[in-house]
Amino acid sequence: MKLLIAILENVFLVSNARLNQMSDPRFGVSDRDYLGDILIHSAQDKSVGASGVTAVSLRSLNKSFGNVAAVVNLDLDIPQGEFFSMLGPSGSGKTTVLRIIAGFETASSGKVMLEGADVTELAPFDRDVNTVFQDYALFPHLSIQQNVEYGLKARKMGKAERAKLASEAIESVRLTHLADRLPHQLSGGQRQRIALARALVLRPRVLLLDEPLGALDKQLREEMQVELKRIQREAGITFIFVTHDQEEAMRMSDRIAVFNAGKIEQIGSPREVYENPSSAFVASFLGVSNLISGTHAEKLFGSTDLVNIRPERIRLIATSAKAPAGEIAVAATITDVAYTGANTLFVLETDEGLRIIATKLNEELQGQDLGLEVGNKVLASFRKEHVAKIPNQ
Amino acid sequence: MRVIEKAPARAISSYLYRNPKARLAGLLALPLTWLIGVYIISLFLLLITAFWFIDPFTSKVRPGFTLDNFVNLITVPAYFATSMRTLGIALAVTVLTILFAIPLGIFMAKIASPWLRNFLAVAITLPLWAGYLVKLLAMRLTFTEQGLFNWLMEPFGIRGPGFGIPVTILTLAYLWFPYMALPVFTAIRQLPNNLFDASADLGAKGWATVFRMVLPLITPAIIAGSVFTFSLSLGDYLAARFVGGTTQMIGSIIASNISLNPPVAAAFSMVPIAFVVMYLMVARRTGSLERI
């Protein structure tokens, strides 16, 4: 019965939120893109609805440390099997939320539910979730094998079975040859994989990952991103992933919650939060943004409302050319050019003093001579549907 | 002009700079004199004395070589029993201090507020500043026939054990507790908080976390602390004398033989040393000294 209520509640909440957004006139500009996303996600929601379970629900969650409010009145539903990221700057409350779900912190008020069951008062060892810690938290006195067996031993599993499961888990992260080593004899990436094996060997319903790739160098981090995504897909476990790296979050997640000052600013698919940020904070935290408001906006779009245009949506054309139909063009001077590998970044300034950032694929620029040099004038042109209105100004 | 004035000192410095061996000699001369001249030689003299004997006619110490003193340690039942009793008391004191130190250490290091932590750290070390006899007297007053303990426990029909081995153990544990509590606290303080989180996360409850994570990781600190509690207990004789009733420890026998029969006292002095060496060898054998 409890379960049924939880399902209904979830379906109701999701559809309600969606209806509100769809009927919101502020979304008018890019309805087409947005609707596409909704269709994709409705299909996903349906499959979730079929399995019927919300893995994690938070209700009116609050947490303060002394006078500092770390989490403010947070509601959140994460369906089973989702790769869910909590993204935000440090101190935005994302790690605190993770620690409350794990049970390391107790909420000041509000409820934590795992698969519909209230676990707010339960200790970490009574919750069916496991955590991969930021600095791995491997036990330094135990071998890799013993580290992975630790949780199985706590569950009073027999010696032979324990050894078998642990060996399998170590094999699944391809470190069998290091099973007898101590943690300090392993590299950061290897320790990371052991931390993952140690948590996954317990077959948790939900895996919590607290910036697990933060300490790795870039190349290793990207390998691990692929690896994590594969494991999540194969195991079918709900992943809740905390990170401050927007690229990482977008690359892996089904949905992203963008945190700011203890609240969720926006929640949605990577495409939704990137293309249609709900606030200036989200727009500037995810990638580079051109936030335009006030008189500049009025002159260009006929309204002083805040809008955002992504730099890669801006085309640079010769001043002599005419703006194509359906595009808005503005004359600007190039004030800076930076080569960044795959892209070149241009900083432009209009005569009215509006600063615009545009990026171009170097592939696209090859062989063209547009005179894209500092001091030259160009037209910055963009399609109307790529101007995203920011609903929360 | 100034340079010339400084010349002699400068010459010495330059000489030392060019001659590392001379530098080393200058550094170590004093401490080595102390260590070898006072410490090692006196211990060596003690060892030699243990092989001498008392002339039965003159009652004077005669140099020579006899193993009788050591044989007596084992064959005289009272001597042997005293050695074993002392060993038991020292081990009990060590275990007792460990039992107190671990929960206190966890509380201080991981739970207490900074203010309370500092307060407790001072409270633990404070007794070290008080005189030894003062503390013995305090314990004596607590456990004497009309003492605090009996007075407090009277309503419950409980009477204290009276002066004897239990109160001796309690008193020694009280005396040496700081030597165990401080290293244990420091070691627990250095355990990252997320190891505790990880242990709970993996399903280990409080006890399991203490036994499988905390205890192995702080073993070096416990051994460091126990070297003090164990060896200081082995050598003590005043506690037995003032709160031990009829309890005799190795120290009691050494004390009573020190002028009467120095060779026996010397032989007995070797016993605690042998125990401590054996203890350290066992600790090394378990590997707990190297693993971390």
pLDDT at A193 over 60: yes
Are the beta carbons of B143 and B243 closer than 8 angstroms?
Answer: yes
Using a 10 angstrom Cβ sphere, with 0-12 exposed, 13-18 middle and 19 or more buried, the burial of residue A248 is buried
Nearest CA in chain B to A99: B197
- ipTM of the shown complex: 0.78
Strand partners, A316: A380
The candidate with the shortest Cα–Cα distance to B189, out of B127, B112, B255, B291, is: B112
For A288-389, give the CATH class.
mainly beta
Interface test with B, best of A95, A127, A141, A148 (most B CBs within 10 A): A141
Nearest CA in chain A to B211: A154
CA distance B87 to A55: 58
Number of Cα atoms under 13 Å in the Cβ half of residue B183: 20
Q: Pairing between strand A238-243 and A206-210? A: parallel
A141 part of contact set with chain B, CB < 8 Å: yes
DSSP conformation letters of A164-187: HHHHHHHHHTT-GGGTTS-GGGS-
pLDDT at A68 over 60: yes
A151:B216 CB<8 A: no
Q: What is the mean pLDDT of residues B211-222?
A: 92
B62-97 per-position pLDDT tens digit: 787 888 888 888 888 888 899 999 999 999 999 999
Interface test with B, best of A125, A135, A192 (most B CBs within 10 A): A125
Q: How many residues does chain B have?
A: 292
Measure B292 CA to nearest chain A CA, in Å: 7
B205:A125 CB<8 A: yes
* pLDDT for A132: 95
Q: Any residues with CB less than 8 A from the CB of A188 and at least 6 apart, and which?
A: A215, A216, A220
Measure B97 CA to nearest chain A CA, in Å: 24
Nearest CA in chain A to B196: A137
CA-CA-CA-CA dihedral for A173, A176, A182, A186, to nearest 10: -50
| A51-283 and A288-389 have identical folds | no
A81-91 per-position pLDDT tens digit: 999 999 999 98
Residue numbers in A near B291 (CB within 8 A): 141
Q: Which of A103, A135, A150 sits opposite B194 (nearest CB)?
A: A135
Q: What is the mean pLDDT of residues A193-220?
A: 91
Measure B201 CA to nearest chain A CA, in Å: 5
Q: What is the mean pLDDT of residues A25-39?
A: 35
Q: Which of A104, A129, A141 sits opposite B292 (nearest CB)?
A: A141
Nearest CA in chain B to A105: B197
Helices B262-285 and B68-75: crossing angle in degrees, nearest 10, is: 70
Q: What is the mean pLDDT of residues B187-214?
A: 94
Q: Which of A134, A135, A154 sits opposite B203 (nearest CB)?
A: A154
B202 part of contact set with chain A, CB < 8 Å: yes
User: Considering only A11-15, A159-163, B116-120, which range has the smallest mean pLDDT?
Assistant: A11-15
| Per-domain residue ranges of chain A | 51-283, 288-389
B203:A139 CB<8 A: no
Higher pLDDT, B111 or B43: B111
Q: Which range has highest mean pLDDT (B141-155, B209-223, B262-276)?
A: B209-223
B213:A155 CB<8 A: no
A215 part of contact set with chain B, CB < 8 Å: no
B200 part of contact set with chain A, CB < 8 Å: yes
**CATH number at A51-283:** 3.40.50.300
pLDDT at B248 over 60: yes
Identify the structural domains of chain B with CATH numbers, from first to last.
Answer: 2-49 (no CATH), 67-291 (1.10.3720.10)
> b/e per residue, B256-267, with b = 16+ CB within 10 A?
ebeeebbbbbbb
CA distance A173 to A224: 11
Measure B3 CA to nearest chain A CA, in Å: 54
Measure A168 CA to nearest chain B CA, in Å: 18
Residue numbers in B near A202 (CB within 8 A): 202-203
Q: Which range has highest mean pLDDT (A30-44, A316-330, B179-193)?
A: B179-193
Average pLDDT, rounded, for chain B: 86
* pLDDT for A327: 87
The candidate with the shortest Cα–Cα distance to B66, out of B48, B49, B53, is: B53
Interface test with A, best of B197, B201, B222 (most A CBs within 10 A): B201
B1-48 per-position pLDDT tens digit: 555 556 778 888 888 888 888 888 888 888 888 888 888 888 888 888
Q: Any residues with CB less than 8 A from the CB of A187 and at least 6 apart, and which?
A: none
Measure A109 CA to nearest chain B CA, in Å: 21
Q: What is the mean pLDDT of residues B98-111?
A: 95
Measure A54 CA to nearest chain B CA, in Å: 21
pLDDT at A22 over 60: no
Q: Pairing between strand A263-268 and A290-292? A: unpaired
Q: Which of B197, B203, B292 sits opposite A151 (nearest CB)?
A: B203
Residue numbers in A near B198 (CB within 8 A): 131, 133, 137-139
B198 part of contact set with chain A, CB < 8 Å: yes
A154:B208 CB<8 A: yes
Residues 72 to 131 of A: which have CB under 8 A from any B CB? 102-104, 123-125, 129-131
A284-324 per-position pLDDT tens digit: 999 889 998 888 888 888 788 899 999 999 988 888 887 78
Interface test with A, best of B191, B202, B291 (most A CBs within 10 A): B202
End-to-end, the C-alpha distance of chain B in Å comes to: 58
A362-389 per-position pLDDT tens digit: 888 877 777 788 888 998 998 988 888 8
Are the beta carbons of A345 and A310 closer than 8 angstroms?
Answer: no
User: Considering only A93-107, A251-265, B51-65, which range has the smallest mean pLDDT?
Assistant: B51-65
Nearest CA in chain B to A137: B195
Nearest CA in chain A to B216: A141
Are the beta carbons of A278 and A391 closer than 8 angstroms?
Answer: yes
pLDDT band at B288 (very low <50, low <70, confident <90, very high): low
B137-158 per-position pLDDT tens digit: 888 888 887 778 888 887 887 7
Q: Which of B194, B200, B208 sits opposite A123 (nearest CB)?
A: B200
Higher pLDDT, A294 or A70: A70
Residue numbers in A near B213 (CB within 8 A): 139
Q: What percent of chain A has pLDDT over 70?
A: 86
Q: What percent of chain B has pLDDT over 70?
A: 96
